[in-house]
């Protein structure tokens, strides 16, 4: 280990006055700590940044302020909400704080914490001629861990992430996934001396000059926020199941990326938890994992469909247009054919009751397919349910060598979406309700 990493010093800055809107934080900090040096890191509590930037607002209800700052609810338990806020941070109550602020007001986070950090860094440079790093900190809880800690929500002049991938450990083993959240480690170190109630909102770390750098490398603390595509827990708790349902979209264009068969099997495991009549299990899912199997089925279905349309007197132009609609299945790297089986169905010997019995099984099949589609969305897989196999069941059974009692109930195209789906038009639930 190099000498520059073996030790450091951290201390809180005493003597800062109460911060008010319009105050120059850099000037206040330099006045309280005039001996700042090149390579120091300032750890600045977000509360005083928000106060200086006038982020105190009148609010009769903290909940209304949280609503206004929330982009997406991630989880909810009673009055507690974990949300994604306007800054892209996942945190409790969107960072809206009703402590250390006058009654009837709440404190919002800085609009752009990285920009706030840059202003402080530049102000210190202008006043003292030294290059420091600045980290704007806030207090977070963490999934699977009790207790709170400070993390970085804004940064300037600081290497926020230390990417060790491509290096080796002490035993020569390659490091392939190690990226250290340096800015968060600095924030936590500062919190040890600032405390939560001591009125010491700024700390200094000295002795780690390797974490301070110039503007050319400045990514800011936003680089610490994991993107949606890499977030394995974006649809985490039971509350987020609702979001999985609402975020599911029909995907019609896919990339060539292979589909993980294990992910599809996990989605099937979710599908077969759907309700069904008489303690039956009426779902079967045929997985078409090979291209040859997919093409063999789709070619046979296309031929049967064209024959039916010609028998109905459709024009060749009309037939071509209808066939093109089914091309979504050809564009997918993976197909699933859900099938209904009526094992366990009651035979009443009465046309009306027997028809109702089948409807119960069909509803159970629909519930299973919906579970399947939502679970695929949770696996970050796009899907499109297409009804086509229902119109040529005999052909599907023959090509896939299925038992006579298996009724194909459409097909599901599965793959990685080639582009982000279009936003769905909002639907007001009240328009679908009839209350008696």
pTM over 0.95: no
Q: What percent of the chain has pLDDT over 70?
A: 93
Same domain, 11 and 136: yes
Q: What pLDDT score does 240 carry?
A: 52
Same domain, 290 and 208: no
Structural domains of the chain, count? 2
Q: What pLDDT score does 131 carry?
A: 95
Choice among 312-326, 381-395, 397-411 with the minimum mean pLDDT: 312-326
Give the residue from 204, 230, 256 where a domain finishes: 230
Same domain, 159 and 11: yes
Same domain, 319 and 372: yes
CATH of the domain at 336: 3.40.109.10
What's the pLDDT tens digit per position in 46-88?
A: 999 999 999 999 887 888 899 999 998 887 777 788 899 999 9
The three-state secondary structure class of 314 is coil
Which sign does the torsion angle of CA 306, 309, 313, 316 carry? negative
- Tokens representing residue 239 in the block: 């509350």
Strand residue runs (E) in 239-371: 283-288, 334-340
Q: Select, from the ranges 39-43, 234-238, 417-421, the one with the highest average predicted confidence (pLDDT).
A: 39-43
Please indicate, yes or no, if residue 86 is contained in any of the structural domains.
no
Average pLDDT over residues 417-428: 82
Q: What pLDDT score does 106 carry?
A: 92
What's the pLDDT tens digit per position in 394-407?
A: 999 999 999 999 99
Same domain, 419 and 272: yes
Q: What pLDDT score does 334 carry?
A: 97
CATH of the domain at 148: 3.30.1330.100
Same domain, 208 and 335: no
Q: What pLDDT score does 200 carry?
A: 94
Please indicate, yes or no, if residue 319 is contained in any of the structural domains.
yes
pLDDT band at 197 (very low <50, low <70, confident <90, very high): low
Give the residue from 230, 264, 287 where a domain finishes: 230
Average pLDDT over residues 249-269: 92
| Parallel/antiparallel/unpaired status of strands 41-45 and 133-142 | parallel
pLDDT band at 182 (very low <50, low <70, confident <90, very high): very high
Give the residue from 160, 195, 230 where a domain finishes: 230
Please indicate, yes or no, if residue 347 is contained in any of the structural domains.
yes
Same domain, 284 and 412: yes
Q: What pLDDT score does 1 carry?
A: 42
CA 172 from centre of chain: 35
Same domain, 284 and 181: no
Please indicate, yes or no, if residue 362 is contained in any of the structural domains.
yes
* pLDDT exceeds 90 at position 248: no
Average pLDDT over residues 132-151: 92
Choice among 117-131, 240-254, 255-269, 397-411 with the minimum mean pLDDT: 240-254
d(CA 14, CA 32): 7
What's the pLDDT tens digit per position in 288-310?
A: 999 999 999 999 988 888 888 88
pLDDT band at 242 (very low <50, low <70, confident <90, very high): low
Q: What pLDDT score does 4 carry?
A: 54
Please indicate, yes or no, if residue 73 is contained in any of the structural domains.
no
More confident residue, 27 or 425: 27
Same domain, 130 and 271: no
What's the pLDDT tens digit per position in 335-367?
A: 999 999 999 989 888 889 989 999 999 999 999
Please indicate, yes or no, if residue 105 is contained in any of the structural domains.
no
Please indicate, yes or no, if residue 396 is contained in any of the structural domains.
yes
Please indicate, yes or no, if residue 77 is contained in any of the structural domains.
no
Average pLDDT over residues 359-384: 92
Same domain, 225 and 268: no
Residue 123 · residue 111 · CB < 8 Å? no
Return mean pLDDT, the chain. Answer: 89
Contacts of 406 (CB under 8 A, 6+ apart): 284, 339, 340, 341, 397
Could you tell me the residue range of the domain that residue 382 belongs to?
A: 248-432
Contacts of 58 (CB under 8 A, 6+ apart): 104, 105
Q: What pLDDT score does 237 carry?
A: 55
Same domain, 217 and 364: no
Q: What is the DSSP string of 65-126?
A: HHHHHEEEEEEEETTEEEEEETTS-EEEGGG-B-SSS-TTEEEPPPS-HHHHHHHHHHHHHH
* pLDDT exceeds 60 at position 19: yes
* pLDDT exceeds 70 at position 246: no
* pLDDT exceeds 50 at position 255: yes
Contacts of 431 (CB under 8 A, 6+ apart): none
Same domain, 277 and 340: yes
Q: What pLDDT score does 24 carry?
A: 97
* pLDDT exceeds 90 at position 111: yes
């Amino acid at each position: 280990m190099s000498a520059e990493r073996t030790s450091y010093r951290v201390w809180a800055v005493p003597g800062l006055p109460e911060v008010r809107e319009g105050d120059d934080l850099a000037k206040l900090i330099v006045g309280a700590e005039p001996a700042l040096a090149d390579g120091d890191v300032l750890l600045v509590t977000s509360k005083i940044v928000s106060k200086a930037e006038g982020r105190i607002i009148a609010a009769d209800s903290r909940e209304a302020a949280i609503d206004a700052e929330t982009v997406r609810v991630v989880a909810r338990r009673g009055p507690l909400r974990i949300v994604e806020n306007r800054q892209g941070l996942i945190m409790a109550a969107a960072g809206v704080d009703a402590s250390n602020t006058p009654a009837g007001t709440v404190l919002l986070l800085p609009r752009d914490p990285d920009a706030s950090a840059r202003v402080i860094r530049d102000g210190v440079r202008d006043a003292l001629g030294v290059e420091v790093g600045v980290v704007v900190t806030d207090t977070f809880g963490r999934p699977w861990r009790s207790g709170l800690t400070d993390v970085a929500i804004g940064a300037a002049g600081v290497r926020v992430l230390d990417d060790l991938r491509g290096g080796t450990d002490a035993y020569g083993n390659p490091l392939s996934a190690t990226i250290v959240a340096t800015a968060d480690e600095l924030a936590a170190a500062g919190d040890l001396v600032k405390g939560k109630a001591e009125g010491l909102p700024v700390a200094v770390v000295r002795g780690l000059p390797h974490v301070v750098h110039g503007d050319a490398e400045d990514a800011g603390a936003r680089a610490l926020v994991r993107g949606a595509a890499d977030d394995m827990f974006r649809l985490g708790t039971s509350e987020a199941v609702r979001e999985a349902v609402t975020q599911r979209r029909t995907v019609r264009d896919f990339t060539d990326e292979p589909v993980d068969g294990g992910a599809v099997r996990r989605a099937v495991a979710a599908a077969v938890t759907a309700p069904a009549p008489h303690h039956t299990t009426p779902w079967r899912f045929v997985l078409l994992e090979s291209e040859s199997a997919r093409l063999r089925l789709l070619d046979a279905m296309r031929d049967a469909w064209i024959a039916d349309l010609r028998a109905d007197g459709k024009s060749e132009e009309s037939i071509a247009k209808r066939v093109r609609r089914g091309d979504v299945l050809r564009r997918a790297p993976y197909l699933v054919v859900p099938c209904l089986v009526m094992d366990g169905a009651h035979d009443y010997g009465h046309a009306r009751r027997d028809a109702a019995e089948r409807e119960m099984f069909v509803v159970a099949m629909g519930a299973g397919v919906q579970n399947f589609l939502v679970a695929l969305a949770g696996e970050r897989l796009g899907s499109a349910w297409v009804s086509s196999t229902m119109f040529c069941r005999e052909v599907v059974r023959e090509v896939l060598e299925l038992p006579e009692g298996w009724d194909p109930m459409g097909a599901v195209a599965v793959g990685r979406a080639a582009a982000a789906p279009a936003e769905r038009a909002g639907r007001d639930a009240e328009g679908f309700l009839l209350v008696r």
